[in-house]
Structure formats: C-alpha cells, structure tokens
Amino acid sequence: MQPSVLQKYGEARLPRYTSYPPSPEFSPSVSSDAYAGWLSSLPSAAPASLYLHIPFCRSMCWYCGCHTTITAKDQPVVEYLNLLRKEVDMVATLAPQPLQVDRVHFGGGKPTIVAPSDFIALADLLRNRFGFADAAEIAVEIDPRTLTIEMAGALGGAGVSRASLGVQSFDPVVQRAVNRVQSEETTIEAVDRLRLSGVGSINFDLIYGLPHQTVRSCIDTASMAAAMRPDRVAVFGYAHVPSFKKHQRMIDETALPDGIARIEQALAIAEALVAAGYVQIGLDHFALPDDDLAQSEAMGKLRRNFQGYTTDNCETLIGFGASAIGRTHHGYVQNQVGLGLYADSITSERLATARGCQLTAEDRLRAEIIERLMCEFKADVPAICRRHGFDPAGLLAGNRRLFELAEDGVVDLAEGIIRVRRDHRFLVRAAAAAFDAYLHRSVRSHGQAA
C-alpha cells in the first residue's frame, strides 16, 4: 500500500458502520411516543434480539469509548437494576406477545458488576416477559479481572452461552499507559471458570493503536490469546476522541502510533491469528473454522450491528438501559445517556427514548450497500438497487469519492460492482463512506479509518 494512499484514507475520521445512518445522525425527532408506536406495530411472534446496558465499572480504562460510570458502591447498581426491570415490563406490555427472542446481549460498562443472584433474576424476568427460542444465545461482556467463581456459576445457571472477555493487550507497558493492568494468568483463570460453569463459547477483544504498542507486542498478545483458544477474536483499532471522551485525555498522545504503524499492527495481529488456525472475518473479526460466524461468512450471510460482525438476522433489536440503542423496521432509537435522565423517564413510567432516526427507503438502500462492503468487501450496486426499486445511476454517477478510490487502487469498479482490493481491506470503511449521504455532517465524532 502506497504511503500516500494510506495517509489519504487511513487517517480520515469515519464511522465504524455498525449502523446506517450512523448514531451521530440520530435526533430528538424520534420521541418516546413514536417508539411506543413502533413497538406496538411489531408483528406477533416476530424474531427479536435484546440488548441490556449495565453502565457501571469499578475503574476507568482510559481507552474506553463506552457509556459507563465508575462506582465503588453497590447501591447505585441495585437502584439501576430496579429501573431496568421496570423498563422491561413497560416494553413487554407495549410489544405484541410473544416475541421470539433469538439473542440477548448484556453490555456495558461491566454487566458482571451486578450480584450473581440479581443477574439470574434479571435473566429469569426476560424469559418470563418474552418468548425465548429454544436455541436462544445469551452473551455477556466480562472484565476478567473481577470475575468471581460465584459470578461464573451464576452465568452458567442463567443460561449464558457466550462470554466476551476484554483483553486489549498483554503488554504491561501498554496496560499501564491505559490504566488496565490484566495478566495472562488472570485471563486464563477467567476462561477456565467460565468453561467449567458451562459457558461454552468464548470471545476475546483485542485493540491495536494504543500508546506504546508495537508490532512485536501485538504479535505476542495475539499469540498468547490464541493459545487460550477463544472461539472468536475481535480486533479493534483504538479510536482516540478526547473531545467526546474526556478520560481519554489521560492518554499520552505522543505515544500513539501513526497511521502506518496502526496498519502494521493490525496486519501483524491478523497474520498471527490466521497462522494459529483462525479464519479472518470481515474487517476485524477472527473465528475458529467450526464457529458459526465463520460458517456464516463462508455462506455470504454475515451481518453487522452494534456488536460488530454477527450471525444475527433479526430486524428487531430492543435496547434496555441508559444509552441503549434499539432498532425496528421503522428506524433506530436510543435511550437517554445520562443516568439521571434515564431514571426520570422510567420512574415517570415513560419510555426513556432520547433520540433516534426514522429510516427512509434511500437509507435502507445505502445501508445494504454499506453492510455488504463491510461484510464481503464487495457490493453489486445495480442488483441491490433493483431490490430496493432505485436507479443505480443515482448512487454511481458523479460519485467523486468512489471514483477517487478506484483511481487510487483501493477498489476495483466494473459495471457497478465494487470490490475492495485484498491488500487494501483495512480501508474498507473509506469505500463504505462513498455511499454515506450524512458523512460531511459528523466527521469530527469518528475515529480513524484504519
């Protein structure tokens, strides 16, 4: 890859395209009343996914881009769970029953900050209020540093089938620079506890582009992670946006790698994981060959949502908790981010919707093109346009950004079919951005493209 091309596209600030339109385009025009109507209009027995956000941690990791609050006490967590249960009851009353829940994802923050008995009770409430498919997947994000034997047992008892463990880096220098010290032994112990408790599928999250990170330390981390044989590994590029995430100002910007170094680190991790037997999935995920994510990718059925690459085909995603994002056929909704505002809404027996985006026919068209590029590194624009009843000339003719990508050798373009060149796959977000009608309005809120 030519350095000039990398500098031009790799350092651009672009969305991760886990949704389209991206979340910075959400607005207060979508109200709680509108969302209530969307829920009420869901088809009976429609497949749905649930997301529950637990916005609490014991300490702040300085790279964090999530909505979370630091607490040393348990009472704020207990009070929040009471609100969460009320929200579940409200949504279950509005939505036609039974919905068929295929997937549940607990995110944060740190979901395992709740007491083991409270986690089991929350999972039981979801089962009682919604209809769960027999093979429903329940996934939980976990901080290995604080996973107790009791909590691991509660996860297994609640039917959790997948756990996603934050690892980021095993380099002690990098860990100290981002305020997250976590040894290899701590991670191994957490994996063992989960597997012994019946949580059969394990994911790891790694990050490149952190302060003081090197190609060597990235390879060492990937090799150490692969030795524990997680089923999936997600490898994200650190998004440094201190204007939005003030705790990121604790990171020494002079120690951050430049665009070329970031690409080298991402490539090194990918090579190490592939050499260890993992299949590369999309832009930044890896999976063992028998994992259903790898099988979906092979069949051309890979999808992308707010958790990254997924096999989840549900059109309906119901989000619970402060800052949680949901989706129906009509569009996206997001709850109040602030805990106080969220609490005010729920105690007033109102949905906590703060903003959202009602999808247009053109949004759905562009979303499919962007998702195919992100998942398959190619998109047949004329074929997709035919499915949506659009003339492809409206997206291709005069698309200056797309033509520049072709001229610079990032993509091949023939008869409206776009293919991202394999040696430029880390710039796929730049190709997706060629179909983003909102990009010019939200550039400052995104991380680097590579």
Closest CA relative to residue 170, chosen from 160, 159, 180: 180
Dihedral of CA 244/247/251/256: which sign? negative
238: which residues sit within 8 A by CB, 6+ positions away?
63, 207, 208, 209, 210, 256, 447
Annotate 159-179 with b (16+ C-beta within 10 A) or e (fewer). Answer: bbbbbbbbbbbbbeebbebbe
Amino acid 12: pLDDT = 79
Domains with residue ranges and CATH for the chain? 22-318 (3.80.30.20), 361-445 (1.10.10.920)
Residue 443 has pLDDT above 60, yes or no: no
Residue 305 has pLDDT above 70, yes or no: yes
Q: What is the dihedral of CA 24, 26, 29, 34, to 10 degrees?
A: -160
Opening angle at CA 208, ends 226 and 113, nearest 5: 75
Overall pTM > 0.85: yes
* CA diameter of the chain: 60
Give me the percent of the chain exceeding a pLDDT of 70.
Answer: 98
Amino acid 450: pLDDT = 57
DSSP 9-46: IITSB----SSSS-GGG-BTTS-HHHHHHHHHTSPTT-
**If pLDDT is split at 50, 70 and 90, which confidence band does 1 have?**
low
The whole-angstrom separation of Cα 327 and Cα 357 is 9
Amino acid 36: pLDDT = 98
